[in-house]
Amino acid sequence: MRLILTLEYDGTPFYGWAAQPGLPTVEAALREALAGTFASVEKLAVAGRTDTGVHALGQVASVDVEGGPPPERVAAALNPRLPDEITVLSSAAAPDDFHARHAAHSRSYRYRLFTRAAPSPFEMRRSWWVPHPLDEDALSAAAAALAGEHDFRAFTPTQTRHEVFACVVERAEWVRRGDHLDFEITAKSYLRHMVRSLVGTMVEAPSAISDLLEGRERSEAGATAPPWGLYLVSVAY
């Protein structure tokens, strides 16, 4: 039986999604919980492989299992076996050909800036504290320039496995929510560190974005924003 699982997690204690020998990861924790719940666990796949410290509000995984509880009770069975930082929000049966990554039409991310003059202990590892004034009109113009298909090689590490640097952005905007200024973006696929590099560059020099989308070198863009402000919000199928 193939399952689709929707998860949320605080990425702070994990070295990203993907399992790594001797290190705590979200995948390793989920595999352990699955192994304790089902007689057989195979073909675990995920919509987005989040990096170290990155959070998720709507991560999606698919997995083949045998035995165990019925699909609608899987979330309740898994959650007591998972660390407090990971929750399975929902579980359901999926078609045999469903694949969490390959079937996704788009993925939406949010990057949170905390813009209050004073820091907050409640925002540590949840957002990037940027206390200096920001030109929000310039940030909005920079986000608007991202829509459509562009060459994003300036926003991924120089040493990369990517051979194609074009991505199609469906939506990108900055949204003010009280002391938070959130960058929200939706696209089918992303380059490694792309969202964080976009945010770092926009915070430093929002007017540079348009020129950088013409295939410039990584060294011409700004710093990569820290991982703890980034959230995988949702995946569309």
Q: Give the active site residues.
A: 51
Q: How far is CA 145 from CA 41, 42, 125, 207, 212, in A?
A: 44, 42, 29, 10, 11
Q: Under a CB-based contact definition with an 8 Å cutoff, are residues 234 and 104 in contact?
A: no
Q: Longest Cα pair distance anywhere in the chain, in angstroms? A: 56
Residue with tokens 């952005």: 169
Packing angle between helix 194-204 and helix 136-145, nearest 10 degrees? Answer: 140
Instruction: Report the distance separating Cα 5 and Cα 1, nearest Å.
Output: 13
Residue with tokens 């820290």: 226
37 CB-side CA count, 13 A: 24
